[in-house]
Structure 1
Amino acid sequence: MMKNPVLICDFDGTITENDNIIAIMKKFAPPEWVPLKDGVLSQEISIKEGVGSMFALLPSSQKQEITDFILRDAKIREGFADFVAYTKEAGIPLYIVSGGMDFFVKPILKDLIPEEHIYCNIADFTGSQIHIDWPHECDDQCTNECGCCKPSIVRRIAPGHEIIVIGDSVTDLEAARLADLVIARDLLLGKSEELGLNYKPFQTFYDVIGHVKEVVE
């Protein structure tokens, strides 16, 4: 049983049913975004380079249109609000660590997660094209050019804790390698199996609650 766990939860494709960056690109970006996305998913291009280049394809003048679209389009995965309530009741710290952007991550999580428990990237709309700022870059133990470096954040905020990582994609993989338990779906599920990580599958956050209860109660 875990005595001192911390929950590290991804956002895009995990808390939300779809990947919001992909949704934005499908709706607004020219075709050049596709090879950038494929390069990130195959790990041939760093997350920082790929995501930064994808957003640079979009004019800042579309800020309101993009924001309105994604706040309307994003759907929270079933059970998330109950999961948040469970973590509070159980006294388990929950951090959202996301490669997503502040202009949609924070509004969607408002009233659910305190802002100081949200780590994400920042979209700068002051230039002609959208520029991404990376306030949570890799520490000296990571050379992957993650952008929002999930393992670096884990090392910083959870020393001495048992780590539970919840995620869905290759962008969660390096944090998952540090975890005592990975709760995974989609690409991260396959990678966790391939690497022999301690993992459980999930579809809804009711599944997540069940897996967490198994190791903490």
Structure 2
Amino acid sequence: MKQPVIFCDFDGTITNNDNIIVLMKRFAPPEWEAIKDDILGQKVTIQEGVSHLFSLLSTELKQDLISFLLETAEIRDGFREILLFTGERNIEFYVVSGGIDFFIYPLLEPFAILNNHIYCNGSDFSGETITITWPNSCDEQCHNGCGCCKPSIMRRFPAEEYERIVIGDSITDLQAAKQADIVYARDFLIEKCEELSIAYTPFTSFHDVITDLKNRGVKG
């Protein structure tokens, strides 16, 4: 019997809104919107686009950025419950995000998730503008410029041994969804799954995911 393992996106999935978009709307000059459109339209790689977005922001804004998200970001309903659910059933739960460490770690701090269960992009505030670093970039089998490469991380959990479950909402989750056994999708990821005939289950809250996992009889 395969061991279930969950790979859950952060921005727009664990949080109700995409925190990168929220930060750009609040702090970036107007040219950020064209960059965002190019990312979603797959005209540039995620890595190129995210690098360009954060190069628009001064490193002097670091604490303002963190404080703003801590005050405004909302955690999706049922997140604490799915952590309890997976913990009780010995289902490994990994946060795998195209977001950035400087805001992901503070926002997840109340949930006591081990650092080795969080994969995301890094940040360097030593220059004039923010530089994004890529500790989880694509392996030799991926050439999509993912930034935080979700398929590369998933390949550490071989398909013949693991039932791989992806929860996500956007373009950063698409390549992971292609190789998942079960996909829970919302928002833009639903559009892409339908476009590419990838089977998925829609969700609004993590309670929906818990209910479906119970119905499927998924347990560790």
Question: Normalising TM by the smaller chain, what interval?
Answer: over 0.9
Alpha-carbon separation, structure 2, partners of 1:5 and 1:213? 13
1:192 paired residue number: 193
After TM superposition, the structure 1 = structure 2 runs for residues 8-23 of structure 1, keeping only pairs within 5 Å, are 8-23=7-22
Per-residue deviation, 1:203: 0.2
Alpha-carbon separation, structure 1, partners of 2:156 and 2:34? 33
Amino acid at match of 2:152: S
Alpha-carbon separation, structure 2, partners of 1:8 and 1:74? 21
Alpha-carbon separation, structure 2, partners of 1:181 and 1:92? 14
Ranges of 4+ aligned residues in structure 1 off by more than 3 Å: none
Q: Which 5+ residue runs of structure 1 have no aligned equivalent?
A: none
Per-residue deviation, 1:72: 1.2
Alpha-carbon separation, structure 1, partners of 2:77 and 2:206? 6
2:80 paired residue number: 81
Per-residue deviation, 1:103: 1.0
Q: Secondary structure at the match of 2:156?
A: helix
Per-residue deviation, 1:214: 2.3
Alpha-carbon separation, structure 1, partners of 2:62 and 2:128? 11
Per-residue deviation, 1:107: 1.3
Alpha-carbon separation, structure 2, partners of 1:37 and 1:141? 26
Amino acid at match of 1:198: A
1:144 paired residue number: 144
Amino acid at match of 2:141: Q
Q: Percent of aligned pairs with the same residue? A: 55
Alpha-carbon separation, structure 2, partners of 1:157 and 1:103? 27
1:134 paired residue number: 134
- CA shift digits 1:165-191 (9 cap, x unpaired): 000001100000010110000011121
2:205 paired residue number: 204
TM (normalized to structure 2)?
A: 0.95
Q: Is the 8 A contact 1:180 1:198 kept in 2?
A: no
2:31 paired residue number: 32
Alpha-carbon separation, structure 2, partners of 1:45 and 1:27? 23
2:114 paired residue number: 114
After TM superposition, the structure 1 = structure 2 runs for residues 163-178 of structure 1, keeping only pairs within 5 Å, are 163-178=164-179
TM (normalized to structure 1)?
A: 0.96
Aligned length: 216
Per-residue deviation, 1:198: 2.2
Is 1:63 matched up with 2:88? Answer: no
* The 10-residue stretch of structure 1 (124-133 or 153-162) with the greater mean CA deviation from structure 2: 153-162
Over aligned residue pairs, what C-alpha RMSD do you find? 1.2
1:96 paired residue number: 95
